[in-house]
Structure 1
């Protein structure tokens, strides 16, 4: 049987919806630059030399992350009820409105409210985009197509950094911070305008009894010059139909039932722990407090914002490199490489900071800055791969629940790490980074031992790695391949394949 491949239309759709990924990346990045602008603190009357000022500074990150966690938990009901595309449209509206509130803020309370709602929106979109991409992608290229989420997400981070850097030189002090926040509107507006032309997820359509539409979408996405009759799409259709029939019999359709079903609960724990493990490398602490880290290394003025922007470019480049190799080397090997690299790099960085921070040794401080950039290289392999893996491991009926629960681990872990960071830096200094060496090192061992590889498997075949439902046999796939005009009416009884 020929390998199912994505056509140009499939690739275009996966790329276009990544405007949502850009929205998350830019919105998460731009505030890190805005809070580095003295004009913002002056307008909002925040004095970071006082305990109240530090509390407000911490709240700017805290409410965003808390909103993100709630967005992850809320997504499933909406995505399963009205569909993936309608949910994309609803979430873009939330992101647009909340960005406008932040841009137009006249006091810190209004800004925090906008930040909270924006966090809620981007928490949903950060989960929804890789979920949708995974459901429209063929197994042979799913890593590359879902990896667009991570690559463009970090491109959004990069644009946020460069925008903040450019705004630093604005003579209008109010425009200096309002303009970067206003640019948050552009990507979700573009996604909303183009969303009526997005195809609905074929798996959502088939799962809701709309088999003919699901078959049509699959054919449109996976018909190529090598497979003009879309026989691969017919195979995929039957696999999806089989798996959805089994899941319907098991009646796993709520978060509570997910947690009470052993094989699904295992996947949810794996996804949540993977996201927590990756954030335990200290990536968001390194990013959000990078201007502080540079100040400790003797860098001042606009240079920290410039270095932050270059850092994001490096991260975006290696996210893209990851997309090129993920389907070849596999998710487990790539994630292992990234975590091990981050650990080794932070060991070097911590040693250099312990020795040279707050000194005039330019060589030592320069190597410490280089170590931060190497961290961006290694984490570039983690950002993308983690979203791909989490989008693959859940059954269709609960993929939104599972993906939302897994990605909430990202937001919850960062609430912990970023909220304690200011106090930790003040009290124990560089020793705080030891936590980001010890925790991922401890987590890497069970990750290698227990997480199964998912590369090149269909989403339905991945279920076999975690449960007791078997993928279709070779004979059944051949039968579908030879039947170029399968019956896809709602009355057709799907073939059910159960494990031994």
Structure 2
């Protein structure tokens, strides 16, 4: 369990993490499928060559297109029926899409299932970080929401090891059909477990269920031996006061009327855009092709793929341990800079040694790609979801996160759809896109506001809101009960830096 969070809070976050696993497994399973010869034989395709490139691209493009549509649809769904109920509907969609793909008898049927699967993936990827951030206390939110990245990459590695194991199945069709059917496991388990996880207290307050929200917060933040629920009650007051200051159920266009909200949307979308422009999903989904181009054959590409993603899982755990210490923006900048440097080295090696007899050069290509992954998994994978899930206030969080994750799927759609043709036509030169674009975006990334250590309501100050409530410790349980005690409101007409905000919090706490 993570220090600073209750057992119940921790278990709720872990359970919702099955949705993250679902996204990771479903997203990466196509990489495993590309390493199973029986799939190509059944549908009369080839992994390389211009004839099959449009179909290969469509398997990735339709998934990303479905994900983009899911991001558009899910905010209104989760704001209307709640985070947990939305997760339940997504789980049903995930199970049905897995069954459709696993039972495919024609490539069109498979592609339809892939699109539906992407729809579920986009919806769950935009919902889980929102839910986790809304039930987590400020001091451990970074580590708790990082479980989204950890479970996501565990899903990646799970699909890779499934593909490697099924490569040796004696029945050819069992190889790819069972691999695709396994996509139903995570959403099935999450759907069955979902009645036992709490609804988001912030959504409950937003929809008028204040009493239930307070009880949920008391249970989520209950510490051993605590009887007065001071933290839960003060956080409840902070949530209520913050929501009272802003209209509820606004559409996305009215939300964008204020400059601070536009700043939030830009930050969320830009973080997802620039991190996906590093080429992580292109390398991931076309990795079997990459390994084969440097002389790896048979089951070896699948084994390398599985080890690669397992290494990413380990590094995501490391990321969760340091994100609340180092900070979100600093980690993202370190990650992007490291990715640009390592991919530059990889492209230099790959352009010289791919297709050659130089075994040392080929080994160095593998080592460099693993070092490239190290920067992404440690500094970006989970961190980008932590950041975009906490920069938006409650009344616009689902819409803001969905727009940000929608940028992820939009970039993925463009890059993965074109990758098969690009690799067939220009080869390694396509990787230059993943060097130039992130390098140009790095200075902008460095200028984004830092959010570590702040409550979701306190982050309003960092983005320059004119009115906001700061530091839940300032608001006492007496305030919640309607008794005497002043709720301190800090009003600002200028942006507060992170250090200034914390100084104000400490001063207010001392006065109380």
For 1:276-308, what per-residue CA distance to the aligned partner results, in whole angstroms no more than 9, with x for missing partners?
A: 100111111111111111111111111000000
Report deviation, 1:20.
Answer: 0.3
CA contact (8 A) 2:50 2:421 kept: no
2:403 counterpart of 1:391: no
Matched residue pairs, number?
A: 488
Counterpart Cα distance in 2 of 1:222 and 1:484: 18
Deviation at 1:36, TM superposition (A): 2.0
1:390–1:226 CA distance, 2 compared to 1 (3 A):
farther
Partner of 1:116: 115
* CA shift for structure 1 position 144: 0.3
Shift of 1:486: 2.2
Relative to 1, partners in 2 of residues 1:395 and 1:187: Cα closer, same or farther, differing over 3 Å?
same
User: How far did 1:456 drift?
Assistant: 0.7
Q: Unpaired runs of 5+ in structure 2?
A: 494-512
- Deviation track 1:51-77 (CA, whole Å, cap 9, x = no partner) reads 452211111111000000000111100
C-alpha distance in 1 between matches for 2:165 and 2:213: 46
Matches of 1:408 and 1:485, distance apart in 2: 38
User: Could you tell me the TM-score, scaled by structure 1's length?
Assistant: 0.94
Aligned to 2:462: 465
Q: Which residue number in structure 2 is paired with residue 36 of structure 1?
A: 35
**Following TM superposition, by how much is the alpha carbon of 1:468 offset from its aligned partner in structure 2, in angstroms?**
2.1
CA distance in 1, matches of 2:22, 2:244: 36
Distance, in Å, in 1 between the alignment partners of 2:492 and 2:420 is 52
Separation in 2, partners of 1:52, 1:425: 13
Give, in whole Å, the separation in 2 of the partners of 1:458 and 1:399: 14
Gapped regions of structure 1 (runs ≥ 5): 489-493
Q: Quote the Cα distance in structure 1 between the aligned partners of 2:55 and 2:278.
A: 25
Distance 1:341 1:446 in 2: 16
- 1:359 paired with 2:371, answer no
> Contact 2:335–2:380 at 8 Å: present in 1 too?
yes
Match of 2:302 among 297, 305, 308: 305
2:390 and 2:16 map into 1 onto residues whose CA distance is 18
**Residues 1:485 and 1:58: Cα distance change in structure 2 (over 3 Å):** closer
In the superposition, relative to structure 1, how do residues 33 and 284 fare at CA in structure 2: closer, same or farther (>3 Å)? same
Q: Distance in 2 between matches of 1:252 and 1:208?
A: 9
- Give, in angstroms, the shift of residue 5 of structure 1: 3.5
Q: Report the CA distance between 1:49 and its aligned residue.
A: 6.2
- Work out the CA distance in 2 between the residues paired with 1:42 and 1:382: 37
Q: Give yes or no for the alignment of 1:14 onto 2:10.
A: no
- 1:445 maps to 443
* TM-superposed deviation, 1:264: 1.3
Aligned to 1:173: 172
- SS of residue matched to 1:18: helix
Counterpart residue number, 2:420:
422
Aligned to 1:162: 161
Q: How many angstroms does 1:209 deviate by?
A: 1.1
1:18-63 deviation digits (Å, cap 9, x = unpaired): 0000000011111211122121111123345664522111111110
Mapping 1:73-112, distance limit 5 Å? 73-112=72-111
**Partner in structure 2 of residue 125 of structure 1:** 124
Q: How far apart, CA to CA, are the structure 1 residues paired with 2:243 and 2:488?
A: 11
CA distance 1:306–1:430, shift in 2 (3 Å): same
Does the aligned pair in 1 maintain the 2:154–2:310 contact within 8 Å?
yes
The residue aligned with 1:329 is: 326
Give me the whole-angstrom Cα distance separating, in 2, the residues matched to 1:473 and 1:440: 35
| Cα pair 2:134 2:201 within 8 Å, conserved | yes
Counterpart of 2:183?
184
Q: RMSD value over aligned CA atoms?
A: 2.0
User: Which SS does the other structure have where 2:476 is aligned?
Assistant: helix
CA distance in 1, matches of 2:112, 2:425: 30
Q: Deviations over 1:81-112 (max 9, x none)?
A: 00011101011011011111111111111111
Q: 1:14 and 1:114 mapped to 2: Cα distance?
A: 29
Deviations 1:223-246 (A, max 9, x none): 113744220111111110111011
What TM-score, normalized by structure 2, do the two folds share? 0.92
Number of the residue aligned with 1:491? none
Match of 1:260 in 2: 257
* Alignment partner of 1:486 is 2:481: yes
With over 3 angstroms needed to count, the CA separation of the structure-2 counterparts of 1:420 and 1:304, relative to structure 1, is same
Return 339-348 or 15-24, whichever deviates more: 339-348
Q: Which residue of 1 aligns with 2:503?
A: none
State whether residues 388 and 404 of structure 2, in contact with CA within 8 Å, keep that contact through their aligned partners in structure 1.
yes
Structure 2 residue matching 1:46: 3-state secondary structure: coil
Which of residues 278, 281, 285 is equivalent to 2:278? 281
**Quick one: structure 1 residues 270 and 479, their matched pair in 2 at CA, closer, same or farther if it must change by over 3 Å?**
closer
Cα distance in 1, alignment partners of residues 192 and 22 from structure 2: 14
Counterpart residue number, 1:346: 343
Relative distance call for 1:364 and 1:49 in structure 2 (3 A) is closer
